[in-house]
């Protein structure tokens, strides 16, 4: 399957600082990228959908000013957690879907473990 890479795999930051997570589609162009968050023992929760060159669409209850999403190119999307607090500690996962062709499935990155201390 297609490869989606996230960076970093894990990060520890101090409360009040901001953290940026990158999501790259390595061997295909992604029209749409999705960002999820997953707490321990829970399922993935969709945070937002982003399309290249346009503003992200956030799910209900997700603060757009706290979780800044940028999708500047067809191979890169970033999620910035601003003014992080311990309750933002979670596993963040991105997903990317191809522009065109027969590949309609979305592929996921390996996830980023964020710990806010």
Interface residues toward another protein, by CB under 8 A? 1, 4, 6, 31-32, 34, 36, 43-46, 49, 51, 57, 91, 93, 95, 97, 104-111, 113
Return d(Cα 23, Cα 58) in angstroms, integer: 17
* Smaller CB separation from another protein, 83 or 110: 110
Q: Min. distance of Cβ 53 from another protein in angstroms?
A: 14
SS3 state of residue 59: coil
Q: Min. distance of Cβ 117 from another protein in angstroms?
A: 20
Nearest CA-CA partner of 80 in 13, 27, 4, 32: 13
* Contact by Cβ (8 Å): 67, 47: yes
Return d(Cα 100, Cα 113) in angstroms, integer: 31
* Smaller CB separation from another protein, 2 or 13: 2
Q: Min. distance of Cβ 2 from another protein in angstroms?
A: 9
The C-alpha R_g of the chain, in whole angstroms, comes to: 14
* Smaller CB separation from another protein, 22 or 82: 22
Q: Min. distance of Cβ 93 from another protein in angstroms?
A: 5
């Amino acid at each position: 399957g297609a490869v989606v890479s996230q960076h970093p795999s894990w990060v520890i930051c101090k409360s009040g600082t901001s953290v940026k997570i990158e999501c790259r589609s390595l061997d295909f162009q992604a029209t749409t990228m999705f960002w999820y968050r997953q707490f321990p023992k829970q399922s993935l929760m969709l945070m937002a959908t982003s399309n290249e060159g346009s503003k992200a669409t956030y799910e209900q209850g997700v603060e757009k000013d706290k979780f800044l999403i940028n999708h500047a190119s067809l191979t890169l999307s970033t999620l910035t957690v601003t003014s992080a607090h311990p309750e933002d500690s979670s596993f963040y996962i991105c997903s990317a879907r191809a522009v065109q062709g027969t590949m309609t499935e979305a592929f996921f990155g390996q996830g980023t473990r964020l710990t806010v201390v």
